[in-house]
Structure 1
């Protein structure tokens, strides 16, 4: 369950996105059965690109491309018949099947990349340097926001494999940042952040956990936010704020009137985010040996 938008999506916003989708897919030739002039549609061309020189497991390909197993299998069979792809069992895990390019498939990818670069260069060549820079910035912004929009945030049990994997990654990350290191024994316990006691959120991008955050009860009407973490590959998207907002929503659902949190002195970006999200610095309220700053935020009453 993700955070509820503050404002509903307008008809004009939906229309604008759909208009852009129609124009862009037509302009890059996505509707042509011979994408980039090659003898295949965009779906097969994209699958070849995702397999790439290093190969990829079928499980990863399904997640990356959002395809069901049957459709992916049909495309792979077509590419195998054409001598472009070979599928084998993963050498380290017999449960996984891996797709790799043949020599002919690698040659087609090289040509595909050449043609795609030429198409992009042709499009950008119609603009002067200032407008090219403007378009590039706009595309970077669109990519960032679309990634954030596609990420799902779900409440999971604090003892679930995804929750513990995120906490392990969080602990390893801050262990390298804290001058004194970090002891994983200080992480929240599953029972503190599950059920009525609290909540544990995991953010997923294409089926892979890329962030987390925990909420636990401090008192009858007070909660504490812990371990807000975002995978390095998903940072600078705004996901930290989205996780924080989700935890605040879970706190309101539990009729907490205030949430508190602490943070280390070196985590200046976290301190900036908390202040920007309405948190006020307060005196120490706990005995966390890693904390140097303490914050709280008053919450609206549950509806």
Structure 2
């Protein structure tokens, strides 16, 4: 026998509704439903423009206005016109609102810890959540240029190195590779891009500037939870556009034949195989593309 996948999805949906308190009139015991609580969180301690809040939460203007009115009436939120654009309004938290924001964060953290603590395979549970979050949020992924030495960039790079070590027959030691200098992946020579989903990194890719008449694509990595969603192709399009913006017209890259999905991506997206162009001991496949 097999269980209908629709039945499995609906069971999951009901479990999430129960666990997160979507239908509670006093979400996390703070005296208001989930909707206004989410608006309070989206405004945050630094404040936010209303259209940004509406877009982030996926709310229509009427519902957002109703939630905002309730928060204003409670003394949690102030609404003001943007001093630089009279057509826009800015929401900010009052002192009371900031205290409520802090209280919600503490309760949400405790709820998350409770979920993990009562499951015998917390890592597997988190992996499943990442997979679902990536699938449901794939249309909301954003791309950000960051310093390749930043903590979040280093996290992605370490994940990339660990995967190479697992998949390449001889393993991988970044100290033996042609590891690019960070400044070569920063403007004006290059860039380092992250794919972000609601604050979590799902992938990275670097553009390394050189003085050889071309730039190199480096360190393309996609989190396991986001694979199969076309994100690698989107990241390549983003980094190629960044190259054009920097006046770079020729790109090269290398990879290892054990990374079959990467080789296939390059073969099917306009990259031309070329002879080896570096002394890095790990790659055995080389490509070039004019942009």
Aligned equivalents of 2:112, 2:283: Cα separation in 1: 48
TM-score (norm 2): 0.57
Aligned equivalents of 2:200, 2:288: Cα separation in 1: 31
Using a 3 Å threshold, how does the CA distance of structure 1 residues 66 and 268 change in structure 2: closer, same or farther? farther
TM-score (norm 1): 0.55
Equivalent in 1, 11, 22 of residue 42 of structure 1: 22
Cα pair 1:223 1:256 within 8 Å, conserved: yes
Query: Residues 170-222 of structure 1, C-alpha deviation per residue, up to 9 Å, x if partnerless?
Result: 10111111110111223323122112121101111120111100011133641
Equivalent in 214, 228, 237 of residue 222 of structure 1: 214
Aligned equivalents of 1:172, 1:160: Cα separation in 2: 18
- 1:193 paired with 2:185, answer yes
Equivalent in 147, 150, 157 of residue 147 of structure 2: 157
Residue aligned with 1:197, SS: coil
Supply the RMSD in Å over aligned alpha carbons: 3.9
In the alignment, which residue of structure 2 is the partner of 1:298? 290
Moved >6 Å (runs of 4+) = 69-73, 75-78
Aligned equivalents of 1:173, 1:259: Cα separation in 2: 24
Using a 3 Å threshold, how does the CA distance of structure 1 residues 290 and 44 change in structure 2: closer, same or farther? farther
Equivalent in 158, 172, 176 of residue 182 of structure 1: 172
Correspondence 1:67-82 to 2 at 5 A:
68=44
Aligned equivalents of 1:269, 1:283: Cα separation in 2: 20
In the alignment, which residue of structure 2 is the partner of 1:148? 138
Cα pair 2:189 2:246 within 8 Å, conserved: no
In the alignment, which residue of structure 2 is the partner of 1:22? none
Flag structure 1 segments of 5+ consecutive residues without an equivalent. Answer: 1-27, 29-35, 49-60, 79-85, 89-96, 107-142
Residue aligned with 2:251, SS: strand
Cα pair 1:259 1:296 within 8 Å, conserved: yes
Using a 3 Å threshold, how does the CA distance of structure 1 residues 44 and 245 change in structure 2: closer, same or farther? farther
Number of aligned residues: 197
Query: Residues 55-97 of structure 1, C-alpha deviation per residue, up to 9 Å, x if partnerless?
Result: xxxxxx98xx96747789869979xxxxxxx949xxxxxxxx5
Flag structure 2 segments of 5+ consecutive residues without an equivalent. Answer: 1-9, 11-16, 29-36, 46-92, 119-132
